[in-house]
Amino acid sequence: MIGIKKEIKMGREAILKSIKKNKPELLPLPDINEEAFDESIDLIETFKSNIAIVGGTVREVDKETIDAEIKEQYPNKTNIISTTNKSILGTVQVDKSTDPHNLENIDLAIIEGDLGVSENGAIWVTANSSIIRVLPFITNDLVIILEKEKIHLHMLEAYDQIAQRDRNFGVFISGPSKTADIEQCLVVGAHGAMSLTVLLV
């Protein structure tokens, strides 16, 4: 172990020394003029059409009809985890100490998104809202509930919104998992969720 530690230290110093020697003179960090990206578009409509482009389904619903909508979309699910109080369809309870491997057979996860991005249909999902980090990935199907007011124009705006968060784990999710690695044929459902439904409330 001692040997390894020494080597690591040498690596660090050697790398930093070499960078100091080889780097060019300091170049300024550009300011970002966000006005250059301004657009007067319908945020919600663009968001919806981008979700469709990335292979997801999107519905505008009332808070009262969330569960009815989910049941209609996913009629035959039995192992359901809901981490939000906006849906009472959950059949499996989890907390932070649940072994993620136990989620192998979850059919459906219902979680809340923190914000949406109009330009790409992405939704910011945090470890706090999914409780167990693997949940939105390991579940067979995924429902994300998002408040319409939380849709922003582009990623730069989105990063301003999430700047103050407690940084542990967070992910932008845009559509269901997918691959085109076999002859460029798009197949939805790779390792993550096979489908994504976004409910806008």
Q: Which residues within the stretch 147-176 sit at the binding site for another protein (CB under 8 A)?
A: 154-160, 163, 167-176
Quick check: 11 binds another protein (CB under 8 A)? yes
| Site for another protein, residues 37 to 56, rule: CB under 8 A | 37-39, 50, 53-54
Nearest to 119 by CA among 81, 84, 159: 159
Q: Tell me if 2 contacts another protein by CB under 8 A.
A: no
Range 15-34, binding another protein (CB under 8 A): 15-16, 18-30, 32-33
The whole-angstrom separation of Cα 182 and Cα 184 is 5
Strands 178-179 and 187-188: antiparallel
**Contacting another protein (CB under 8 A), which of 44, 61, 92, 127?**
127
- By beta-carbon proximity to another protein, the closer residue of 110 and 173 is 173
Cβ count near 165 (within 10 Å) = 12
| Binds another protein by CB under 8 A, chosen from 65, 88, 100, 148 | 100
CB of 97 to another protein, least distance (A): 8
Alpha-carbon distance of 124 to 155, in angstroms, equals 11
Is 187 one of the binding residues for another protein (CB under 8 A)?
yes
Buried b (16+ CB within 10 A) or exposed e, 22-49: eeeeeeeeeeeeeeeeeeeeebbebbbe
